[in-house]
Amino acid sequence: MIKSLFARHSDSFPRQSRAVETVTATRSDSKKGSSEPQTMSRPRLVSSAEESLSTSLKPQNTTVPRHVAIIMDGNGRWARQRGLPRREGHRRGVESVRATLKAAGELGVEYLTLFSFSSENWHRSPDEISDLMGLLRLYLRSEISELNRRGVRLRVIGNRAKLPTDIVELIEKGEQETKDNHHGNLVLALSYGAREEILAAARNLATRIAAGEISAEQASESDFAAGLYTHDIPDPDLVIRTSGEQRLSNFLLFQSAYSELVFIDCLWPDFGEAEFTQAIQEFTLRDRRFGR
């Protein structure tokens, strides 16, 4: 279930028995210390992401977001709830990547950025890091042909210096083999941290100023952004986070200044086409004013 704002718009979807399912949620009354069941309607995928999206009523904007970024959270909790090792949660998470990429393509999302491995993730146990790197190797070896079949270009942002050499080689190979694809972009954020990225961009701009390329007085926001990993990628219109957590966790902090944020309760391995479509539906209900 999408938190807060999405719940507020649950009645905006048509009440068709084949497209809407009724669920019962429990709402706690903090004043009375009691709970009462609350019935509400939520959309269920009918046959495709595009058909489901077309059922939303009275959107504030009818534009599908050009760039969607996702913080894929909850693999470990998903596995723990089922008594499985964490690596099984990560493995199932890869299946959610495939389903989400498919849905994004159906809806016409041009850029899909996935927060795959953060700079902070290097502090996890050696065994878990090894499992994650193993899955990354497998994905890069097995999915490039599928990306080519779909016409999707692979891009990777983050500090590659920290990644194993063979993985960097696989990344470069995948980027080279898909560079001429024009039916979408899959951007993987690997060994990525926004603060580190911002610091690197600041150093880059300072170097240019010191070299006399530009004066400090003339330096602009675009000059600064030129030093970001995403200098040739549009800012995300929508940032989604799974697992119920409501924070950005050092992800695209500069780029997401005016992004719409949607927080979803389900854990990443349970995320798929229906959940992605619901997030897009929520996006169409937002009134984007960009401070105006």
Q: Does 173 reside within a domain?
A: yes
What integer pLDDT is reported at residue 291 of this predicted model?
Answer: 81
Confidence (pTM): 0.80
pLDDT at 166: 97
Domains held by the chain: number: 1
Q: Report if residue 9 sits inside a domain.
A: no
Query: What residues make up the domain containing 226?
Result: 64-284
Q: Does residue 44 fall inside a structural domain? A: no
Answer whether residue 37 is part of any domain: no
Q: Is residue 142 part of a domain?
A: yes
* Residue 4 in domain: no
Q: What is the pLDDT along the chain (292 residues), one digit of tens a residue?
A: 554 333 333 333 333 333 333 333 333 344 444 444 444 444 434 445 655 555 444 556 668 999 999 999 999 999 999 999 999 999 999 999 999 999 999 999 999 999 999 999 999 999 999 999 999 999 999 999 999 999 999 999 999 999 999 999 999 999 999 999 999 999 999 999 999 999 999 999 999 999 999 999 999 999 999 999 999 999 999 999 999 999 999 999 999 999 999 999 999 999 999 999 999 999 999 988 888 8
Distances (CA, A) of 28 to 3, 15, 31, 115, 213: 15, 26, 9, 33, 60
Catalytic residue of the set 73, 75, 131, 237: 73
CATH classification of the domain holding 146? 3.40.1180.10
Catalytic, out of 61, 121, 159, 181:
121
73 among known catalytic residues = yes
What is the pLDDT, as a whole number, of residue 46?
42
In a domain, 53, yes or no: no
Does 41 map to a domain? no
Q: Is 121 a catalytic residue?
A: yes
